[in-house]
Amino acid sequence: MISVITADIIASSVLEDRLLERTLDTLKTEFNSIQDDYGKEKVNFKIYRGDSFQGILKIPEDSLHLVLQLKTAVNRLGGDKGTARAQAIPVDFKVAIGIGSQDLEREAIAESNGQAFQFSGRTLDEMKNENRRTALTTPNEDINGEFRTSLLLLDTITDKWSTASAEVIYYSLKGLKEKEIAAILKISQSAVNQRKKAAGWEAVALLLERFKEAISKKLLDGK
């Protein structure tokens, strides 16, 4: 069982060329970082059409964590480090996670096929006329029902983030401590803590734990 992540950058046609270029460069950097962490045999991401990307993950329980890592990597673009800012997020994307079987595995993602690909692509198509930005489809209807609500609540939280909030959440997802984040951003540790609280980090972290548990126990273990 694998996970397929399919995403479209929102309103890419109205983004400034320089910002779109920075977004694509940032995504490529994160793709390489994720592959270094997990191994190229377990993770494969590609950008296509210039404003969309797709990834195959053989660690489906970590899908939501990696989606948020990619999301915050681009959400934080815009503004100088170390400034007291609360800018609206200029770049975001709609993303669909499909978890299921893989019937055909090819080197090129576009040539691969299977249940997970169908779930991901179909779900993203359904989201295009909705306000939702994050969705999940699996073969388990209990999981689908639970995370249909949970991910809608996640969207409500992330829609309120500023670039400063996203930046702190990005480094938190990378496993850095508050003191380390403060040093990178050149702000106080208390400021990091305040930004995490304002961004709802505690709720996000609990959701990530629940996602990993649900996918591992109900899908991967067949329970």
| Percent residues over pLDDT 90 in the chain | 78
Residue in 151, 134, 123, 129 with CA at minimum distance from that of residue 211: 151
Domain 2-220 part of CATH 3.30.70.270: yes
Is residue 221 scored above 90 in pLDDT? no
| pLDDT at residue 22 in the model | 94
Kindly give, in sequence order, each residue whose CB lies less than 8 Å from that of residue 173, ignoring residues fewer than 6 positions away.
65, 68, 69, 72
Alpha-carbon span 48 to 55, nearest angstrom:
11
In this prediction the pTM is 0.90
With the C-alpha atoms ordered 94, 197, 148, 137, is the resulting torsion angle positive or negative?
positive
Helix axes 201-214, 189-198, angle to 10 degrees: 60
Alpha-carbon span 76 to 129, nearest angstrom:
25
Residue in 129, 53, 63, 47 with CA at minimum distance from that of residue 99: 63
Is residue 220 scored above 80 in pLDDT? no
pLDDT digits (tens, 9 = 90+) for 100-159: 986 655 555 555 568 899 999 999 999 988 889 999 999 999 999 999 999 999 999 999
With the C-alpha atoms ordered 75, 78, 82, 88, is the resulting torsion angle positive or negative?
negative
Of residues 56 and 108, more confidently modeled: 56
Is residue 83 scored above 90 in pLDDT? no
- Band (pLDDT 50/70/90 cuts) for residue 87 is confident
Mean model confidence pLDDT for the chain: 90
Is residue 79 scored above 50 in pLDDT? no
Per domain, the residue ranges of the chain are: 2-220
Alpha-carbon span 127 to 44, nearest angstrom:
23
- Band (pLDDT 50/70/90 cuts) for residue 81 is very low
Alpha-carbon span 221 to 212, nearest angstrom:
12
pLDDT digits (tens, 9 = 90+) for 8-45: 999 998 999 999 999 999 999 999 999 999 998 899 99
